[in-house]
Every structure is written in structure tokens, then in C-alpha cells.
Chain A
Amino acid sequence: MSLEGLVEILIPMDPQERITVHYSEPFDPELVLKGKSRTEAVRLIPLLYSVCGTAHAAAAVRALGIEGSVGKELVREALVMMERAREHVFRMALGWPALIQREPDQSIGKLALPMLPDFSKAMDPDGAAFLAGSDAPPDYSKARQVNADMRRLVEDGIFSEPLEAWLQRDRASVLEDWVEREASIAARVIGCLVQQNIAGLADVPAVYLCDTDLADAWSGYEGEGAQVPETSVMERRLTNHLLQGCVRPALVDRYLVRLVDLAETIRELEEMLKEPSNWSIGEREQIAGTGTANTARGRLTHLAKIAGDTIDGYRIVSPTRWNFAENGIAAGCLNALPPLPAGGRLLIANWIVGAIDPCVRHEIRGV
């Protein structure tokens, strides 16, 4: 067993044969958390998942019922949003270039790296955002400054124009004018999909987790042949005009939606920080023992079972668990490809996997 987890995608040489997806779960957190108190668990979880520790901590406090004031909930939500924006930037600057045989843009990665810790220091000066009780007030002015730095970084390095200008473009303008200028890696990636005539591939009907009852979704997961719902930023951005409703999102939509989510997350964070006192928690699905957080890859779910004062059971369901299930969206997209020689399927499989983006290591192999 690998502690890190692994997604294996096996592509048969025979184009008529089905491509299979196998996801091995990473380390089981219950092994560490069982028998611990809720407070201990909230301290330990960010240590286990420190790369995306904010989203895990946010999901954990909700699963463990560690309520916070509205002000504290705002801090938690803002931290999750900044982590999500930074993760998008990492993927676009460091991961996407390989799809078009370019070197990663490490200068963007280097600038993005300190933004989450800087933002955390401003929003959560005493590091108590995910613990019970009161804490030091956020420095909103500093937090706004970090978010403004993030905006500048993505406008210069990812969109090569102001976010509003990009978001106001229509689909044709993005897919023609914006990509033709080739002003950034992101534009070149979308342009490459268009030029290679693969932008419209892998357009399978989508079933989203947000439209599915969690218990039904889970039984679908375990039922043979049933389609496992997907969770991704598409769920939150379906109404964006660039995505055309996306009943059958194609390969290009899965890349576009990342850009939409990055731009909108930064703008939403600006709004939130402009008048923090106007912010409200809003409607949130409340199921005892269940907590969620919206990450760059989709909805992260924590499930906790408490017995007395201690944890009796703990499960983490990552977006990868849904999306790279045997009958998940990745398998659906891969098997919707037209019959191509194995080499062609391998090439496009890279694009599909890059678009859905597992949070663990993956291997794509011809067999």
C-alpha cells in the first residue's frame, strides 16, 4: 500500500476495449484519530494534510460539530478560498505547461507560495480559527492586500488581462481572440485543445454530487455499474456564461472552468473582505457528523462518528474518490473517446486526467 494513494489508468491496445481506472486510497486517517478527543483531532488533521490542510480543517470542524461565531466562520471560509485560489495557480503554472511540452512557470509558483501563510497570518493571527473559543481579530486591511497581490499575480501571469475583462468575454472570444494572443501558458493550453481538435471530446452527461443525496451517492458508489457522481468546481460555476450550462461538459470546459473558478474566487474574496460585517454563513447542508469544504478539485467530505467524548470512526472522502471511481467521471470521459490507436488514447487520456486532476499521484499505462 502506498501512503500517498495512487490513481492507475490502464489503456488497452485494442481501441474497442474499455479503459479502466483504479484508485487506491491513501493512508486511513481513522488509524490516527480513533480514540482521540474532537479538539485533538482538529489539531492533528492539518498536520496530516498540511498541503491542503485548511480545507481539511474546515471540513473537520464541521464534521466534529466545533461551531464558530459568524466572524470565525468567515475567517474559516476565507482561508479555504485563498487555499483554493493558490492551488489553482499551482496547477496552472506548474502542471499545465507539461501538457504542451513547456517548462513549468516556477516564478509564478514562487510568488503564489507565501500568499496562503501571509493571508493566514492576517486573518487568523493566533492560529485558532479551527479551534473552539474566541480568538484575535483579523487584520482585514492586510488580508485585502494579500488578495490584491493574488489578483495581480493571476492577471499578469495567468489571464494576461484584468479578471473582469476576461470574465466579460463570450465563449468565442475566449476560444479565438484570447487563445490566439498566446499571452500566457493558460491561453496556450486552451489554444492547443482547440488547434488539435480535441476541445469537444469526452463530453459525457454529468451527474453532480451537489444534485445528489449523499447517502444515494454512496450507495451508487457501491452499486455495480451505477454512475458515480462527480464533484468539481463545475458544480459551483455551471451558471457562468462561458460554460453554457454544461449538461455535457467537454474537455475544454473542464479547463475553462478552472480559470472561471480562479477569477471568481478572488473576486468573491474581495467582496467578503470589503464589508466583513455584511457576510453571512448562508445556507449550508447540515448533516450530523458530516463536514464539507470546497476545494480546487471539488467537494471534500469528512465523516465523523463520535462515541462519548472521543472519535469512534473517521472517514475522509476526497473529490478524487468520486471522480476517479471505477464508474466515475474520469472513466466516463476516457471511455467516451472515439476509437483511436492506443497512442492517441494515451495522449488524450493525459489531457482528461489533467482536467479532472486527481489529488494523488497517477500513472497512465498502455496494456
Chain B
Amino acid sequence: MCLAIPARVTALEDGDMAVVALEGIKKRISVALLEDVAVDDFVLVHVGYALHKVSPEEAERTLAMMAEAGVLQEELAEIAEGQA
């Protein structure tokens, strides 16, 4: 259902590819459609492509909302780690 889970970019690779952390799993996605994606950026992923960059604040808000519902503890832990 095209859920908008913000995924944090953990590594950039050749050929406009990147590794993101999503639901505690590392995934390879394409960042070819976006300009200037950097490690630690948050992106929304759809059909294997990063389609939007979201600010850390927005990512945190969305993830907190999901966490409030009792899910996504791992992502929140990663954000806290990234901000430490």
C-alpha cells in the first residue's frame, strides 16, 4: 500500500545505488531519481527507487507515530543512534 516508512541511507554505491535501513533490514535501492542524496539522509522508497528525501524531523515524526502504535522500535533506535 505504498507505506511511507522513512528509510535511512547507510551507504552510497556506484551507479546511483544506495543501501538503506528499513525495518531493521538493509536494502539496496536506486537513488537515480533524486539529486544529492547523502549518507544519513532519510528517503521514501517506492518500487525500488528513492522518490523523496524527508527531513530528519519529518522522519522522526512519522516513525514516532508508528512507534506510538507499537511498531518500529528498531528504526527509532537507529535515529537516536544517528543523533548521538
Contacts and interface: CB of A to CB of B under 8 A. Distances in A.
A3 B5 CA distance: 8
Contact of A109 (B33, B65, B70): B33
A113 B1 contact: no
A49 interface: yes
B2 A49 contact: yes
Contacts of A47: 4, 58, 61-62, 65
B65 A44 contact: yes
Contacts of A50: 4, 44, 52
B80 interface: no
Interface residues of A, number: 31
A106 B66 contact: no
Contacts of B4: 47-51, 53
Nearest to B52: A50
13 contacts: A4-B3, A4-B5, A5-B3, A31-B70, A32-B69, A47-B65, A48-B4, A51-B4, A94-B48, A109-B33, A113-B33, A113-B51, A320-B1
Contacts of B5: 3-4
Nearest to A53: B4
A279 interface: no
A137 interface: no
A2 B71 CA distance: 10
Contact of B65 (A28, A48, A110, A359): A48
A3 B49 CA distance: 18
Interface of A: 2-5, 26-28, 31-32, 44, 47-53, 90-91, 94-95, 104, 106, 109-110, 113, 316, 318, 320, 359-360
Contacts of B58: 47
Interface residues of B, number: 29
Contacts of A49: 1-4
A2 B27 CA distance: 14
Interface-central residue, A4, A26, A320, by most chain B CB under 10 Å: A4
Q: What are the 7 closest A-B residue pairs judged by CB atoms, nearest first?
A: A31-B69, A50-B4, A51-B2, A52-B2, A51-B46, A106-B32, A318-B1
A110 B30 CA distance: 12
B61 to A, nearest CB: 7
Given A2-B23, A5-B1, A27-B66, A109 B44 contact: no
Contact of B66 (A32, A320, A359, A360): A32
B2 A32 contact: no
Contacts of B2: 49, 51-52, 359-360
Contacts of B1: 5, 26, 49, 52, 316, 318, 320, 359-360
B72 interface: yes
A17 to B, nearest CB: 30
Given A47-B62, A113-B51, 13 more contacts: A3-B71, A4-B22, A31-B71, A32-B68, A47-B61, A48-B62, A50-B52, A51-B3, A52-B2, A106-B32, A106-B33, A110-B33, A316-B1
